[in-house]
Amino acid sequence: MRIGILGGTGPAGSALGLRLASVGYEVVLGSRDAQRAMGVCADLASKWPDFKLNLAGGDNDAAAKCDIIIIATPWDSAATIVNEHTQDLIGKIVVTMANALIRVGKEFQPLVPPRGSIAAHIQAEIPLSRVVAAFQHLPATELGKLGHEVDSDVLICSDDPTATAEICNIVVKIPGCRPLNAGTLSNALAIEAFTAVLLQLNVRYKTRVAPRLTGIPDRGDAR
């Protein structure tokens, strides 16, 4: 399976791509500038020489041709980039990890985008794709530390049960992560907005928090 990350050279996209490559996936980091993407991949490979990383850089067109697509652009350009690659995304699972947030003074505040959430907005833009909301709450810094587990649940929303199951299969391979089926895309608004709370906790307590829910049997796969 090849996983393409559109806008994959930023902190979140490159960290997630690195982690997925470290557990055996073939990953293509996409960018509007293919040379930049290749440079990021080279830097990651040199930083983690003990890991066999099947990680390549290319333009966003190359990333969009992969089997599963992750959108790692800023929230306000997510819809634009999927529109640029509509044909390549038909029938594919498209994961959005974006959160519509702004910072006002020392506070993070969630915004309500068109159709209620970034995920629902993207699904409306590419109706022939299977959109999934996931990975919003994983700290990029922790994802990028391959010697450590990422202690977090990953809440997954989609209107397509098979897409949810496929992303669960991917998440469970990330050491320390537990996939949780959080329902349909209608719940994505709450998941995206909750990121503002987590960021505020990071600022207040000078840490990097991630959600871990109690009361669910820990079977390694809570689908």
Q: What CATH number is given for 2-205 in this structure?
A: 3.40.50.720
Q: Give yes or no for a contact between 222 and 180, defined as CB atoms under 8 angstroms apart.
A: yes
Residue 103: predicted pLDDT? 87
CB atoms within 10 A of CB 157: 29
3-state secondary structure of 144: coil
Q: Tell me: the pLDDT tens digits for 34-82?
A: 999 999 999 999 999 999 999 999 999 999 999 999 999 999 999 999 9
Residues found in the chain: 223
Task: Round the CA-based radius of gyration of the chain to a whole number and report it.
Answer: 16
Contact 114, 121 (CB under 8 A): yes
| Tens digits of residue pLDDT in 134-163 | 999 999 999 999 989 999 999 999 999 999
The set of long-range contacts for 182-186, using a CB threshold of 8 Å and a minimum separation of 24, is: 182/155, 182/156, 182/157, 183/157, 184/157, 184/158, 184/159, 185/117, 185/119, 185/120, 185/123, 185/131, 185/133, 185/157, 185/158, 185/159, 186/116, 186/120, 186/157
112 pLDDT tier (thresholds 50, 70, 90): confident
Is the overall model pTM greater than 0.85, yes or no? Answer: yes
Domain ranges of the chain: 2-205
